[in-house]
């Protein structure tokens, strides 16, 4: 059964357009990427303000080590950057805390917490960029450690942990907003010995790190519209094809019935309609192409024509049985010859 040529062309175009639209949205987070790759850079720059002394011409020094008794303040500059390969909106906050820790025989015996910088919240941003400063009054902590050692009569190995804490989340445009991977918890920490003769700022953090995680893809409105449009295009094409086939089938049935009715009407005096197929297995079959020839054979031999519907609404055979021969004419939807 052939499909209408015009409908065939339209259907093929609709299917191609539909598939192209759907494929364009498959595995898309920008450019077909379905994972988030992030890069983190951390750094702490330090400098020292010395107490008035007769040894250093400049009381502001940048060096790897400092004589502890001459230190007035240690200035720390925290730099933090978090960025990714996909368009994102970040919400984050950060603070700076200090922990004065005293150890004795490799065991922690006391700890005191200080809030050096209250939590700062950043509502939105395309990346996380932090650049903030804090000043450590070194002698205050050194005097406190000396007092503790004097009062407890023990000599502790004490140090100050200065820690920037970063907390937040990044909502990736092409990912689910409640994706657990989007949560950011990070810190930059330095360690400053307190009761050493010479003090240096020790970094306890990784300066850079990278990572990746798969996205829980979500369909944004634009992608959803494209997918729906593509699906509807394919569905319409399928419906057009089914409609064309159905119409053709109905047309074929109508032609078939018209042919049967016409022959029954024109030759009603010769035709006998039966519901069981005639037994012609032992007879020699002769197939007739024209209805007029079939009628002539029946007239000349004074026999009736047996009509039996072989396939409902599709095919009917006319039989003229004469001796050892059976003459067969088939009625279908094709024009009657």
Lowest mean pLDDT among 48-52, 61-65, 67-71, 330-334: 61-65
State both tokens at 311.
């396939």
The pLDDT of 213-232, averaged and rounded, is 72
What pLDDT, in 10s, does the model give residues 187-197?
Answer: 999 999 998 88
Using only the alpha carbons of the chain, give its radius of gyration: 47
The answer to which of 68-72, 80-84, 109-113, 168-172 has the lowest mean pLDDT is: 168-172
When pLDDT is averaged across residues 38-55 and rounded to a whole number, the result is 90
Q: What pLDDT sits at residue 217? A: 53
Q: Average pLDDT of 232-244?
A: 84
Give Cβ neighbours of residue 126 (< 8 Å, ≥ 6 apart): 87, 88, 89, 90
For position 32, what pLDDT does the model report? 45
CB 39 within 8 A of CB 129: no
Tell me the average pLDDT of the chain: 85
Of the two residues 173 and 190, the one the predictor is more confident about is 190
What's the whole-model pTM score? Answer: 0.55
d(CA 319, CA 328): 5
How confident is the model at residue 180, as a pLDDT? 52
Every domain of the chain and the residues it spans: 30-216, 224-331
* HSE, side-chain direction, 13 A CA sphere, residue 306: 16
Q: Bridge-partner residues for 308, per DSSP? A: 317
**Contact (CB, 8 A) for 138 and 74:** yes
What per-residue confidence (pLDDT) applies to 30?
Answer: 45
Decide which of 251 and 136 is more confident.
136
31-45 pLDDT, tens digit each: 444 677 889 999 999
Choose among 89, 175, 97, 165: nearest CA to 127. Answer: 89
Highest mean pLDDT among 14-18, 157-161, 271-275: 157-161
Strands of 85-225 (E only): list them: 88-104, 107-122, 128-137, 157-172, 183-193, 198-199, 202-203, 208-214
286-321 pLDDT tens trace: 999 999 998 999 999 999 999 999 999 889 999 999
- CA–CA separation, 190 vs 208, rounded Å? 15
Banded model confidence at residue 12, pLDDT cuts 50, 70, 90: confident
**pLDDT number for residue 134:** 95
Instruction: Say yes or no to pLDDT of 213 above 50.
Output: yes
**Is the predicted pLDDT of residue 71 greater than 50, yes or no?**
yes
Q: How many Å apart are CA 121 and CA 54, to the nearest integer? A: 44
- For the chain, the farthest-separated pair of C-alpha atoms sits apart, in whole angstroms, at 146
Instruction: Determine if residue 301 is left, alpha or beta; phi over 0 gives left, psi from -120 to 50 gives alpha, anything else beta.
Output: alpha
Q: pLDDT (tens digit, 9 = 90+) per residue, 194-207?
A: 988 888 899 989 99
């Amino acid at each position: 059964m052939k499909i209408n040529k015009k409908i065939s062309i339209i259907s093929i175009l609709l299917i191609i357009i539909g598939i192209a639209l759907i494929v364009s949205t498959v595995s898309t987070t920008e450019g077909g990427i379905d994972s988030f790759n992030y890069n983190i850079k951390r750094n702490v720059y330090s400098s020292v303000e010395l107490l008035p002394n007769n040894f250093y011409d400049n009381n502001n020094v940048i060096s790897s080590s400092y004589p502890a008794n001459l230190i007035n303040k240690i200035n720390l500059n925290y730099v933090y950057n978090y960025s990714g390969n996909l368009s994102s909106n970040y919400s984050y906050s950060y603070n700076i805390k200090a922990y004065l820790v005293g150890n004795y025989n490799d065991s922690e015996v006391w700890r005191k917490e200080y809030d050096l910088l209250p939590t700062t919240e950043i509502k939105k941003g395309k990346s996380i960029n932090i650049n903030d400063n804090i000043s450590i009054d070194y002698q205050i902590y050194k005097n406190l450690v000396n007092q503790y050692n004097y009062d407890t009569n023990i000599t502790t190995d004490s140090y100050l942990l200065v820690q920037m804490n970063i907390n937040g989340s990044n909502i990736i445009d092409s990912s689910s907003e409640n994706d657990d991977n989007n949560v950011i918890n990070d810190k930059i920490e330095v360690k400053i010995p307190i009761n050493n003769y010479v003090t240096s700022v020790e970094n306890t953090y990784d300066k850079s790190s990278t990572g990746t995680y798969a996205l829980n893809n979500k369909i944004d409105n634009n992608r959803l519209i494209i997918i729906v449009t593509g699906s509807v295009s394919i569905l319409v094409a399928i419906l057009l094809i089914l409609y064309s086939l159905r119409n053709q089938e109905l047309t074929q049935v109508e032609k078939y019935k018209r042919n049967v009715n016409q022959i029954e009407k024109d030759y009603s005096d010769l035709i006998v309609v039966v519901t069981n197929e005639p037994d012609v297995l032992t007879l020699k079959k002769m197939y007739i192409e024209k209805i007029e020839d079939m009628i002539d054979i029946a007239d000349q031999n004074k026999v009736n024509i047996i009509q039996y519907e072989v396939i409902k609404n599709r095919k009917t055979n006319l039989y003229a049985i004469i001796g050892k021969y059976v003459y067969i004419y088939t009625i279908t939807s094709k024009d009657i010859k």
